[in-house]
Structure formats: C-alpha cells, structure tokens
Amino acid sequence: MPLIGLGTYSFPNDRNTTELAIHNALQIGYRHFDTAKIYGSEPAVGKALNDAIFDGVVEREDIFLTSKLWGSDHHDPVSALKRTLQNLGMEYLDMYLVHWPVKLKPWVNYPVPNEDDFENLDFEVTWAGMEKCLEMGLCRSIGVSNFSSKKIHWLLDFASTPPAVNQVEMHPMWRQEKLRETCGDHKIHVSAYSPLGGPGNAWGSTAVVHNPIIKSIAFKHKATPAQVALQWGLSRGSSMIVKSFNKERMKENMTSFDLKLSEEDIMEIQKLEQMKIMRGEFLVNDTTSPYKTIGDLWDDEI
C-alpha cells in the first residue's frame, strides 16, 4: 500500500473536478486512491484511472484502489462490491473496507441516516460476506474503518481472515496511541483519514494546521504545517489519506516524505491537547441505533 493516498470525498460531488484531480495526482506520482460507495465518486475515479491505463500513463498493477461497504449493504457485501466494481470499471479492488460498524436498511443510500434507518448489526454475517469477496477474487484484501480497539478484539474473536487495515481519523491532535498499539499487536495496518484534521470538509477543522506548535515546527524546517502533520503520521508507521484537489497542495503533500522530524519535534507534538473531529454523532441516537451515546460508538476511546 503506497503510504500517501488521495481521498476522493468531496461536496458537492463534481465528476469533472474529481477526474481532473485524479489525472493531476497520477502526474505528480500518486498511486493510492481512496473512494467509497457513499462518496458518489466511484464512477469518476474509475473513469480517470481507466483512461490513464488506456493511455499508458500507469499500469493497473501499479495502482492501489480502496473502496468501502456502506451500512445499507451489510446483508450482502458480495453484491455491493460487484456494484462498486461496475461503477469503477475494474475487475478487482486492492482493499475493501467496512465503512462503519453500523447496519442500515437496504435503501439508505445517503450519508446521514434518519432515526428509523438503523438495523441490528450481526457483524459475523457481514465479515463472512467480506471474506467471501476475498475468496472470489473481487478484492485483494479486506479491512475495516472507524473501529475502536475493543471492536478490533471483538472482530478477531470470530474472523477467519483478520482485517489487513483499520482506517481511522488520526493526526497530531488525535494520535490514536491505544488503537495503534492494538493494531500493531495483530499486524493490522493503521491508515489515517483526515490526517490534517479535515479542513475544507463541512465537519472538519483547521485546528491542526493552525496549531501554534505545528506552525513553529514547520517554520523551523522551512516546511508547511500540512507537511509536518503528514510526516508525523508517516513516522508513526501509518499511511495518510489526504483530500486536496488543489494541484500545488497535492505536490506539497507528496513531498512530506522529504521532511525529517527530530525527537524534540515528536515530543512537542505528543504534548498537544487531543481533539477528535469526526465524532460520528449522526450514527448515535437513544432509540434505534445500537449506539446510544458517542461513548458507545467508540467504546469510550474518545
């Protein structure tokens, strides 16, 4: 898995903008692309990548492509992945992730469910379907997203194939020490979404890139705050899913590999107050959701 990937969630979802971003990213050197059914970007991502393959810009084998199972498809991951592959115009995914540990009614194809949209989650059935996707060759690996340490242990109790990846929010102000230790103990790679805190997203924050400590470290190294945040995550052994369609920022993000943080820099970052930005309130209610509180959703790891 390439350690820096391009996330393709955007609002509003503009197909032409997404295709151009993929084209630019390939020219810059990106080979890892992250999409999801609920993002609505699968057709645009697939079109741009297939055009690049046809034009000889890149080989399919050089691309690492991830998509995700939405809550409305927990009853049948195989059919869901086949639809994703049709949207993408691809024969297989490199990684297929369970987007959230939440099951929704089959018609819920929108990102914020209503109170009566939830169903009881039998994750053993879901994971068996994910394993079937792997057996059928529809994907090369399977994993999860937004799983706490407790949920990772729970999954490992019954999984025949353990998850290869847990994609979670992670940045210098939400460092995920416990989760990284749990995943490391079980050889599960931690991939970071919103590694800059999600600036530009409706739910995101500029707190990370505007943090005075991050800015001071960036100034010392003649780097940008974004490069400091990304290099911090890379130095923790995680891959970074960055979501900027701006060509110059895409270049800037890719050059994060060139920055070397000192032990003093790392220690300064370790002192930062922690703040989870994507809290998942839209999946919590006290009637129909399995998660009555934010603490339930994250097993009090928040």
- Considering the candidates 9, 39, 193, 291, report the single residue annotated as catalytic: 39
Tokens standing for 56? Answer: 């000889």
- Give me Rg for the CA atoms of the chain: 19
Q: What is the dihedral of CA 245, 247, 248, 254, to 10 degrees?
A: 80
Which of 210, 238, 259, 279 minimizes the C-alpha distance to 5?
A: 238
Tokens standing for 236? Answer: 């923790």
The reply to whether 96 belongs to the active site is no
Residue listed under structure tokens 């010392």: 220
Burial 125-156 (b: 16+ CB within 10 A, else e): ebbebbeebbeeebbebbbbbbbbbebbebbe
- The torsion angles phi and psi of 130, rounded to 5 degrees, stand at -65, -45
Q: Is 73 exposed, middle or buried (0-12, 13-18, 19+ CB in 10 A)?
A: buried
- Chain Cα centroid distance, residue 270: 23
Kindly list the distances between the CA atom of residue 96 and the CA atoms of 102, 166, 167, 248, 279, in Å, as whole numbers in the listed order: 16, 11, 11, 29, 23
Task: Point out the residues that are catalytic.
Answer: 39
